[in-house]
Amino acid sequence: MKKIIMTGVAICALSTSAIAADGIYHTDGDSMYNQPFTGPYVGVYGGYGWNNVDSSIGDTNVDGADYGVYAGFKADTLLNNTVNRLGLGLTGAIEVYYGQSSADQDVGGVDIEKDYEYGISFRPGLSIVDDLSPVGVNSYGILGYKRANFEVDGLGDETFDGFELGLGTELVAYDNVGVRLEYAHTWYGDENIGGVNVDNEEDTVRLGVGYNF
């Protein structure tokens, strides 16, 4: 199931790149691309996470739903006034987020669960919008730092630091509202929880709805 979802997100991102290759032009013909959003934005997200946990008491998958809020700033106006004068449609954003998780699994008679997560990421991308169409597309990469709290029942909890790498695509849904789909993989550092050594990697798929000011 995870491979199917990951493949779907990848196809979505590649399809937008194909659109970019074909070229969608402004009505004035001056540039191939345009940015539908710029400046600050906020939103909410929901999704699912798969945690591949290797521990000294056994290996397991700690899976469950994720949900939270995000806020960021898109620097597209700056890019439009500089490098995008060459006819490019480059975008860039800095984003922070905070979320809760229901991921929970028993291993060796001990319960392991994920409680919450937060992080910050840089999001370089490519935006495509036709002046004659109400739909804009923004494909982007995700390069970020992520922290997540995991608890081992009866032994305590620990916050894991990780590097997050992913991709996403956002569509302009209505006026200043955007809908996006993302996939990301996080490599966490090893931690010790109450004498149990834990090594963890995580895959996440998220659907978000945001408002751009």
- pLDDT, one tens digit for every residue, the chain (213 residues): 544 444 444 434 444 433 333 333 333 344 444 555 678 999 999 999 999 888 777 778 889 999 999 999 988 777 777 776 776 778 889 999 999 999 988 877 778 889 999 999 999 887 776 554 556 788 899 999 999 998 888 788 889 999 999 999 998 777 788 899 999 999 998 888 777 788 889 999 999 999 988
Sequence spans of domains, the chain: 2-212
* pLDDT for position 36: 57
Query: What gap in Å lies between CA 65 and CA 104, rounded to an integer?
Result: 10
* pLDDT for position 43: 96
* pLDDT for position 67: 96
* pLDDT for position 158: 87
* pLDDT for position 100: 95
Query: What gap in Å lies between CA 139 and CA 12, rounded to an integer?
Result: 9
Give the pair of three-digit tokens for residue 56.
């000294």
Q: pTM score > 0.85 for this model? A: no
Q: Can you name the residues that pair with 191 across neighbouring β-strands?
A: 198
CB atoms within 10 A of CB 118: 16
* pLDDT for position 169: 92
| HEC assignment per residue over 185-206 | EEEECCEEECCEEEEEEEEEEE
Query: What gap in Å lies between CA 20 and CA 23, rounded to an integer?
Result: 5
Which CATH number applies to 2-212: 2.40.160.20, 3.30.420.300, 2.120.10.60, 2.40.30.20?
Answer: 2.40.160.20
* pLDDT for position 134: 54
* pLDDT for position 204: 96
* pLDDT for position 168: 95
37 burial (CB, 10 Å; 0-12 / 13-18 / 19+) is: buried
Q: Can you name the residues that pair with 91 across neighbouring β-strands?
A: 125
